[in-house]
Amino acid sequence: MARQHTDQDELIRTMCELGSDVLANQKMQSLRNYRQHGDVSRYEHSLSVCYWALVIARAMRVRVDERSMVRGALLHDFFMYEWNDPNARRPLHGFTHAGEALKNASEVFELNAIERDVIKKHMFPMNITPPRYRETVFVTLADKWSATLEVIRTARQRRIVRMCRMVGLM
């Protein structure tokens, strides 16, 4: 158990270091104001996806550009509206928000090819263009996994959210 917590600490520190400029950005911070699933904010969801992408990548023991994967994961849902507001009438949200996130993120950050691919294709297979990089595959899997945990509200997911709060991330 202690080992597991040490690993979680280390992953969260990695997120902090590699994503520091993204996390410090005001627009990124504004994602705290939007709900993603249940009582989880989009900011919390983005951090959680980043965390799980690192977990998956390390479990697979393959080389990844962790900095690009972290930045892409943090920015994968970089859009500023309530997607689940019934009055907003956004029936195509599932198909369009990745493109909108990429547009928004490109206006604020200098993005490399991996980061752009992660953001643009994280909704695969709903958006049918397949990922080009393994970093995108891991973020895509982490997004679905994290969303599932947020919806069913697991204790483990809550612990990860709490740990991120403790290091001042959320």
Instruction: Tell me the per-residue interface mask from 117 to 146 with Fe ion, x by CB under 5 A, - otherwise.
Output: --------------------------x---
Nearer to Fe ion, 67 or 93 (CB): 93
Q: What is the DSSP secondary-structure string of 8-76? A: HHHHHHHHHHHTHHHHH-HHHHHGGGSEEETTEEHHHHHHHHHHHHHHHHHHHT----HHHHHHHHHTT
**150 near Fe ion, rule: CB under 5 A:** no
Least spacing, CB of residue 111 vs Fe ion, in Å: 16
Nearer to Fe ion, 6 or 30 (CB): 30
Size, binding site for Fe ion by CB under 5 A: 2
With contacts defined by CB under 5 A, name the span among 74-82, 83-91, 107-115, 126-134 that binds Fe ion. 74-82
Distance, in Å, from the CA atom of 26 to the CA atom of 30, rounded to the nearest integer, reads 6
Pick one of 44, 77, 117, 135: the residue that binds Fe ion (CB under 5 A).
Answer: 77
Distance, in Å, from the CA atom of 12 to the CA atom of 164, rounded to the nearest integer, reads 7
Measured in whole angstroms, the distance separating CA 92 from the mean position of its chain's CA atoms is 20
Nearer to Fe ion, 6 or 29 (CB): 29
Cβ atoms 103, 27 nearer than 8 A: no
Nearer to Fe ion, 6 or 81 (CB): 81
Cβ atoms 109, 75 nearer than 8 A: yes
Q: Which of 105, 115, 24 is nearest to 67 (CA)?
A: 115
With contacts defined by CB under 5 A, name the span among 4-12, 76-84, 103-111, 155-163 that binds Fe ion. 76-84
Which residues make up the interface to Fe ion (CB under 5 A)? 77, 143
